[in-house]
């Protein structure tokens, strides 16, 4: 069984592959080696919630 790694951007995916799976074959939208499949999104994968979603005490107060 292979491990899937999802990077935020293509450059980061290629950097990860170079470090852990240097002989990975390039299939354009992903790289595949003996142990890993490395692919990527185009941009941010997750974002932070608004401060008040964590706790109301973090909600911006207007002065």
Note if the pTM is more than 0.85.
no
DSSP string, 6-53: EESSHHHHHHHHHHH-TTPEE-SSEEE-SSEEEEE-SS-S--PPPHHH
Structural contact between residues 19 and 52, judged by C-beta atoms closer than 8 angstroms: no
Buried/exposed 28-44: b ≥16 CB within 10 Å, e otherwise: eebbbeeebbbbbeeee
Distance CA 10, CA 38 (A): 10
pLDDT computed for residue 29 by the predictor: 95
pLDDT computed for residue 44 by the predictor: 82
pLDDT, mean of each 10-residue run, the chain (63 residues): 96 97 96 98 87 85 63
């Amino acid at each position: 069984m292979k491990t899937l790694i999802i990077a935020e951007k293509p450059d980061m995916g290629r950097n990860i592959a170079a470090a852990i799976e240097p002989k990975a074959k390039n299939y354009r939208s992903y790289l595949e080696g003996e142990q890993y499949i490395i692919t990527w999104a185009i941009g941010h994968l997750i974002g932070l919630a608004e401060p008040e979603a964590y706790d109301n005490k973090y909600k911006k107060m207007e002065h």
